[in-house]
Structure 1
Amino acid sequence: MPSAESSWKDEFLQFCVDCEVLRFGEFTLKSGRSSPYFFNAGLFNTGGRIAKLGRFYARAIAEAGLEFDVLFGPAYKGIPLATSAAIALSEHHSLDVPCSYNRKEAKDHGEGGCIVGAPLAQQRVLIVDDVITAGTAAREAAGIITANSASVAGLVIALDRQEKGAGTELTAVQQVESSLGVPVVRVATLADLIRFLESRQPEQAERLRAHQQAQGEAAAPPP
Structure 2
Amino acid sequence: MENLRQQFIAFSVDAGVLRFGEFITKAGRTSPYFFNAGLFNDGAILGRLADFYAQTLIDSGVEFDMLFGPAYKGITLASATAVALAAKGRNVPFAFNRKEAKDHGEGGTIVGAKLAGRVVIIDDVISAGTSVRESVDLIRAAGATPAAVLIALDRMERSGKDDALSAASAVQEVSKTYGMPVVSIANLDDLLAYLPQGGDSELGRYRAAVAAYRQRYGVTA
TM-score between both structures, scaled by the size of structure 2 = 0.92
**1:150 partner letter:** A
Task: Encode CA deviations 1:90-147: one digit per residue, 9 max, x unaligned.
Answer: 102x110101100111112211111110100x42110000000121221121112112
Q: Say whether 1:21 aligns with 2:17.
A: yes
Quickly say closer, same or farther: Cα 1:178–1:218, change in 2 above 3 A. Answer: closer
Residue aligning to 1:45? 41
Q: Give the Cα–Cα distance (whole angstroms) in 1 for the partners of residues 174 and 182 of structure 2.
A: 8
Q: Give the Cα–Cα distance (whole angstroms) in 2 for the partners of residues 205 and 180 of structure 1.
A: 34
Q: Say whether 1:99 aligns with 2:94.
A: yes
Q: Counterpart of 1:155 in 2: which secondary structure?
A: strand
Q: Counterpart of 2:189 in 1: which secondary structure?
A: helix
Residue aligning to 1:145? 139
Q: Say whether 1:35 aligns with 2:31.
A: yes
Residue aligning to 1:196? 194
RMSD value over aligned CA atoms?
1.4
Q: Counterpart of 2:41 in 1: which secondary structure?
A: coil
Residue aligning to 1:110? 105
Q: Which structure 2 segments of 5+ residues have no match?
A: none
Instruction: Determine what percentage of the aligned residue pairs are the same residue.
Output: 50
Q: Give the Cα–Cα distance (whole angstroms) in 1 for the partners of residues 143 and 30 of structure 2.
A: 40
Residue aligning to 2:168? 170
- Aligned with 2:78 (options 82, 85, 88): 82
Q: Give the Cα–Cα distance (whole angstroms) in 1 for the partners of residues 95 and 131 of structure 2.
A: 16
**1:210 partner letter:** A
Q: Indicate if the aligned counterparts of 1:164 and 1:172 stay in contact, CA closer than 8 A.
A: yes
Count of residue pairs the alignment pairs up: 213
Residue aligning to 2:181? 183
Report matched runs for 1:202-217 at 5 Å.
202-217=204-219
Per the TM alignment, residue 203 of structure 1 is displaced from its structure 2 partner at its CA by 2.5
- Structure 1 residue runs of 4 or more that deviate by more than 2 Å after TM superposition: 198-203
Q: Counterpart of 1:158 in 2: which secondary structure?
A: strand
**1:97 partner letter:** V
Q: Counterpart of 1:213 in 2: which secondary structure?
A: helix
Higher RCO (CA-CA < 8 Å; seq separation 6+): 2
Report matched runs for 1:60-75 at 5 Å.
60-75=56-71
Q: Counterpart of 1:137 in 2: which secondary structure?
A: helix
Per the TM alignment, residue 84 of structure 1 is displaced from its structure 2 partner at its CA by 1.0
Q: Counterpart of 1:198 in 2: which secondary structure?
A: coil
